[in-house]
Amino acid sequence: VRRVLVTGGSGFIGLPAVGQLADLGLEVHAVARHPPNTASVVWHAVDLLEPRAADEIVRRVKPSHLLHLAWTTIPGEYWTTLENLSWLAASASLLRAFAEVKGERAVFAGTCAEYEWGSDLLVESKTPLRPATLYGSCKHALRQTAESVAAQASLSVAWGRVFFLYGPREHPARLVSSVARGVLAGEVVDTTHGRQVRDFLHVTDVASAFVALLASDVTGAVNVASGEGVELRVVTAEIERLAGVNGLVRRGRRPIPPSEPDMLVGDATRLRDEVGFRRRFDLETGLADTVAWWRSQLDTSDRT
Amino acid sequence: VRRVLVTGGSGFIGLPAVGQLADLGLEVHAVARHPPNTASVVWHAVDLLEPRAADEIVRRVKPSHLLHLAWTTIPGEYWTTLENLSWLAASASLLRAFAEVKGERAVFAGTCAEYEWGSDLLVESKTPLRPATLYGSCKHALRQTAESVAAQASLSVAWGRVFFLYGPREHPARLVSSVARGVLAGEVVDTTHGRQVRDFLHVTDVASAFVALLASDVTGAVNVASGEGVELRVVTAEIERLAGVNGLVRRGRRPIPPSEPDMLVGDATRLRDEVGFRRRFDLETGLADTVAWWRSQLDTSDRT
């Protein structure tokens, strides 16, 4: 690894990933529209959706390694927004530029939404790919083109399929954040019945998994997943317990869209055995870390 | 059909398609980098690979119907050039803009290279999609995203998979052109053994098929094919016969790349039964038309 370029560097996964890459002593360049001011990283204030922006940053930095995390992620909107097409376009331009500067290895953030959703464990080598959403389709399309470029160029490509994540600094509209924040503030939080089974990984571990994947020579799709399913009602009950409250989460008060699958759990065998990744947080310690962070935020805002 | 926008309007398929659409009395806007001067069509001198170009032309014209034919097509290069990624990017931008101006129907030029190549008839509803080339992958990726947009918006999308085509004005490096031109000039032309089976359609018919597809309400992928396979050596022998020469085509003098399939023939049932398309040229009359055109070109150049 000579020089890494990370897109979405200030994002939920990007910020810890950039920090971990810098901690490894690598030369890290990170792209964000509004870069934070963190040391050991060369930040580039770039909006990748601007014309030629993807192309220009790659030609300027000439990275040997690329970690492409940037994409539209606005909760509720990102599944269907036409901006997914613009991210596909920008990513295709990024990929072309990276191949042209003779980049060696690229890792992309994919999604469990590329799979055909059913009730089985989602396995990279087995589960059919049949995205139900525009978000999933555009990611799926990008993966196919990236692998096609890799097949004809001396470029190594891996694709980390992200499942569900949580942790400090997550967007407050997401499930774990909104429940933690709500119950810590003593508010009632209405949720669905919560019997949906999901695969959660703490954002620090998601970032570590991407860093490990980038440093490895594993190619193709790899689930960035825990391999364990948990019901959402168990997650929210654990948050209540950690917050020291009871009965603030009211289950069954919100409908579940018919398109939502009962179960989304990824097989984590490739990530564990081929990439050699071990997670730092299980769900209990990870949620404790998250609730502690939200508590510190609320304490801070109390003082202001 | 209120107003049609055709990309690649000056191309091999585009020029006859634009003419046929204008003959139907439609309001036709056509995009080309260097537009020809044909009547009944509003030409726009636009390079779709320039930043924002795709977006701006769609917002200016506000078409109800889109026929997207433009792509890189340089013989020998288009299979692998990284410019395929730029065409994917430009096409994704075009698609976004078309959805945003509430376009009603879009038809795209796909390719038989989206299919897994084997020795069976290629059928839209049956043959697996497994492109072996970057060209095929980028087209495949675009189709998936276009259908995903169609699934969530009030936009009707069809996808015409082009097989092999020939006719007047074809690029001189292509098989039929190069053989016709060569033998008419009395030159020896070296070819492969010519036992590969291909599906040919005259470019006038390919253009008519796209016009019929655009005017129909058929959605999804449709092979733009004759449904009939012919060996390449039969095609080149027919060109020799029409040119009144013998023995100028030397078969077996050029190797066949190992990636080339023995047979590429499309099932034309959807095109015939659902779109209602009938071709005007069979191979014999189509080649006669083509050889006559090359003869007129050579006569013209003799006189200058």
pLDDT of residue A225: 98
Whether B82 and chain A come into contact, CB under 8 Å, resolves to yes
Backbone angles phi, psi at A125, to 5 degrees: -85, -5
Residue of B nearest to A148 (CA): B134
- Which of B96, B138, B149 comes nearest A86 by C-beta? B96
pLDDT of residue B87: 98
Grade residue B199 by pLDDT with cuts at 50, 70 and 90.
very high
Whether B134 and chain A come into contact, CB under 8 Å, resolves to yes
Question: How far, in Å, CA of B95 to CA of B220, rounded?
Answer: 15
pLDDT of residue B303: 57
CA of A104 vs chain B CAs: smallest distance (Å): 16
Question: How far, in Å, CA of B256 to CA of B265, rounded?
Answer: 18
Whether A113 and chain B come into contact, CB under 8 Å, resolves to no
pLDDT of residue A147: 97
For B130-140, write each residue's pLDDT tens digit.
999 999 999 99
**Closest to A108 in 3D by CA, of A217, A6, A15:** A6
CA of A75 vs chain B CAs: smallest distance (Å): 18
Residue A151 tokens read as 């097949």
Tell me which of A56, A79, A85 to substitute to probe the interface with B (most B C-beta atoms closer than 10 Å): A85
Backbone angles phi, psi at A297, to 5 degrees: -65, -45
Whether B80 and chain A come into contact, CB under 8 Å, resolves to yes
CA of A140 vs chain B CAs: smallest distance (Å): 8
Regarding predicted confidence, which is higher, B94 or B299? B94
pLDDT of residue B37: 85
Question: How far, in Å, CA of B112 to CA of B164, rounded?
Answer: 9
**Share above pLDDT 70 across residues of chain B, in percent, rounded to a whole number:** 99
Question: How far, in Å, CA of B301 to CA of B304, rounded?
Answer: 5
Put simply, the answer to whether B137 touches A145 (Cβ < 8 Å) is: yes
pLDDT of residue B248: 97
Q: Assign B249 to helix, strand or coil.
A: strand
Question: How far, in Å, CA of A74 to CA of A120, rounded?
Answer: 28
pLDDT of residue A2: 87
Strands of chain B, DSSP E: 3-7, 27-32, 42-45, 65-68, 105-111, 156-162, 164-166, 189-190, 197-198, 200-202, 220-224, 230-231, 249-250, 263-264
CA of B146 vs chain A CAs: smallest distance (Å): 9
Interface of B with A in 151-210 (CB under 8 A): 152
For B263-277, write each residue's pLDDT tens digit.
999 999 999 999 999
Put simply, the answer to whether A89 touches B90 (Cβ < 8 Å) is: yes
CA of B163 vs chain A CAs: smallest distance (Å): 21
Question: How far, in Å, CA of A168 to CA of A108, rounded?
Answer: 23
CA of B263 vs chain A CAs: smallest distance (Å): 22
Grade residue B302 by pLDDT with cuts at 50, 70 and 90.
low
For B64-90, write each residue's pLDDT tens digit.
999 999 999 998 899 999 999 999 999
pLDDT beneath 50, residues of chain A = none
Whether B52 and chain A come into contact, CB under 8 Å, resolves to yes
Q: What is the DSSP string of A252-284?
A: TSSPPPTTS-SEE-B--HIIIIIS----S--HH
**Closest to B112 in 3D by CA, of B134, B82, B136, B87:** B136
For B99-117, write each residue's pLDDT tens digit.
999 999 999 999 999 999 9
Query: What's the pTM?
Result: 0.95
- In whole angstroms, what separates CA B2 from the centre of its chain? 24
pLDDT of residue A259: 81
Grade residue B219 by pLDDT with cuts at 50, 70 and 90.
very high
- Whether the predicted pLDDT of B151 surpasses 80: yes
Span B197-223, mean pLDDT?
98
Tell me which of B81, B86, B144 to substitute to probe the interface with A (most A C-beta atoms closer than 10 Å): B144
- What is the maximal distance between C-alpha atoms in chain B? 58
- Which of A93, A99, A149 comes nearest B89 by C-beta? A93
Identity of the residue numbered B101 = V
Backbone angles phi, psi at B244, to 5 degrees: 75, 30
Whether A95 and chain B come into contact, CB under 8 Å, resolves to yes
